Amino acid sequence: MRRILFTLILCVVPTSISSASGHAVFHTASFGDGGSVSLSIAEGRPSRYSAFDFDAIITLSEADHGGAVLYRDGGRHQVSVRCAAPAMVRISAVDYPVDVSIPSGGDWKHDLWAALCNAPVS
């Protein structure tokens, strides 16, 4: 049942947050010149690792002050996310704890965790 719920969440997340590339933007960092870097969920699925809930592919893009894309990273960065305590994001076999008490926007790992683990389900 848990895997079915996670699959439904993965279907909802991309439709609830969108970007020009069609990927689900979960974090944007803005800079003084008006430019920004956005991180997006390109793919997501239930995790193949029992200690994690989701596996995802994230991508990066840079935009100017008007929103025109200046750079789109061709890399496909694999991450795994654990929703339950202790909340965790795994990148390249390194586990990073996620402080779920901080507000959104300050840390991309927290925002990725929130996008996948707190996605609305109807």
| pTM over cut 0.85 | no
Residue 64 in this model has a pLDDT that exceeds 80? yes
Is 26 inside any structural domain?
yes
pLDDT in tens, 32-59: 898 999 999 999 999 999 999 999 999 9
Q: In the chain, what percentage of residues exceed pLDDT 90?
A: 68
Sequential DSSP letters for 29-51: EE-TTS-EEEEEEEEEEE-SSTT
Instruction: Determine, yes or no, domain membership for 122.
Output: no
Query: 65 near 90, Cβ under 8 Å?
Result: no
Q: Which domain holds residue 53?
A: 2-117
- From residue 75, how far is each of 9, 39, 59, 71 by CA, in Å? 24, 12, 7, 12
Number of domains in the chain: 1
Regarding predicted confidence, which is higher, 64 or 20? 64
pLDDT tens digits, 91-108 = 999 999 999 999 988 899
Q: Is residue 111 included in any domain, yes or no? A: yes
Integer angstrom CA distances of residue 93 from 49, 73, 79, 96, 109: 12, 21, 9, 10, 15
CB 14 within 8 A of CB 42: no
